[in-house]
Structure 1
């Protein structure tokens, strides 16, 4: 089995594992579980972690250049290793984003925008969970419920940063840095998509203008040819009447084509 084939097989299982993990982790954080419920959530989270570990190890084994693949996918290693830090468990959701990105990469522009919007909403939610999980029990905390966490994540990912709510712990600041970088990256995706759409629209208008111009020039060329034919017939008739030699016909102009337009263009 090739590595590409394994990744295709694991797309859906990894997506399901990431979604199950998100549900279990959200339940654990929002409900502030303890006792048996806490144990159940932790078991579910541990099972999803095993799925991620297996996927990483199989990819490493199937890689043609293992050391190169290992160096190129250090972040994937962090996704597997960092579950010891509870708030950073949400890095597992990067796998879900990677699956969505692979599918959006071959989609039309609308699919890319859908991916960007969906990723933004998902990042806001998981960042709100992570910051709540980190800050809730900290001294001088300003984030005590999910609403505070979502609001903080929203103003952070949009790079607005009102400053009314901010993390008080070191780990919370690490999460904030990641959210800000994700916000900048998503803003770049949206900006690039919009710029691509504008350039495409301008190119389409230019093409329509060139087509219309070529059509008009072709019509004028036909009219000139018809007029030349009439004048030639008249001149021939007059020459026959006066006994002078008949005039010869000049070459008929050739209508311009798209290729000739490009050949004449200085660009």
Structure 2
């Protein structure tokens, strides 16, 4: 009964780097299609082929992990809901950082600074990729819409930064249905990422101070006579 989970773990470790590279290629291909529509058709077709090929590998990876899990399809979808969402919307692949954060929190050994620093680094990278993906998506649907305030990619990047940071100045905002759906997702991700970073940093501080208190000899605290 333990062979399937172990095989799935080996598969995940083996595919981690290739999937990361494919994610970057997917982003690059989609970005070229959105930001450089005036390129020759051959280049645009090549970018489309890269995007489709990357998504096909994502689908194969999902199918393999489903088979190795030994679970029924519906149960696998319920227990791997985030992976399912990421498969349907590949631009949200940075959300897989939640799985990394969850695995780190399950560690039984004493947390080290490197672990918390890694969580914050992952969260920062995820915020960057999500912001870029959100800006691309919003710009793609907004720049030609009637009454749109997001007319350039720079406007879209500014909007993504203010939305991810939960500031929301309101000077630019999406008006299309797809743009607003993207905005809801970006806002939710921004809250989750901020919570992950601040929670990890706070936990590290608390445990650091607790260890210092345990190591301090009796009567060694400041103000002790």
Partner of 1:22: 27
Q: Which structure has the greater CA radius of gyration?
A: 1
Displacement of 1:93 in angstroms is 4.3
Structure 1: distance between partners of 2:135 and 2:172: 12
Aligned residue for 1:194, secondary structure, equals helix
Counterparts in 2 of 1:102 and 1:16: CA distance versus 1, 3 Å: farther
The residue number in structure 1 matching 2:223 is none
CA contact (8 A) 1:11 1:99 kept: no
Q: Which residue of 2 aligns with 1:201?
A: 208
**Structure 2 CA distance for aligned equivalents of residues 18 and 90 of structure 1:** 8
Alignment of 1:171-186 (within 5 A): 171-186=178-193
Alpha-carbon distance in 2 for matches of 1:12, 1:143: 35
Q: Distance in 2 between matches of 1:170 and 1:197?
A: 41
Q: Structure 1 pair 93/21, CA: closer, same or farther in 2 (3 Å)? A: farther
List alignment gaps of at least 5 residues for structure 2. 108-113, 221-225
How far the C-alpha of 1:132 sits from its partner, in A, is 0.7
Kept in 1: contact 2:94–2:130 (CA 8 A): no
The offset of 1:145, in angstroms, is 1.7
**CA separation in 2, counterparts of 1:109 and 1:174?**
32
Matching residue of 1:49? 55
Aligned residues: 206
Higher relative contact order (CA closer than 8 Å, sequence separation 6+): 2
Tell me the secondary structure at the aligned position of residue 142 of structure 1: coil
Counterparts of 1:98 and 1:190 in 2: how far apart (Å)?
Answer: 12
Matches within 5 A, 1:225-240: none
Structure 2 match to 1:158: 165
2:116–2:201 Cα contact (<8 Å) kept? no
CA distance in 2, matches of 1:49, 1:147: 27
Aligned to 2:91: 90
- With normalisation by structure 2, the TM-score equals 0.81
- In structure 1, the partner of 2:140 is 133
What is the Cα deviation at residue 108 of structure 1? Answer: 1.9
Structure 1 residue runs of 5 or longer lacking an equivalent are: 83-88, 215-267
* 1:206-246 CA-partner distances (Å, limit 9, x unpaired): 2243x2549xxxxxxxxxxxxxxxxxxxxxxxxxxxxxxxx
Cα distance change on mapping 1:79 and 1:193 into 2, 3 Å: closer
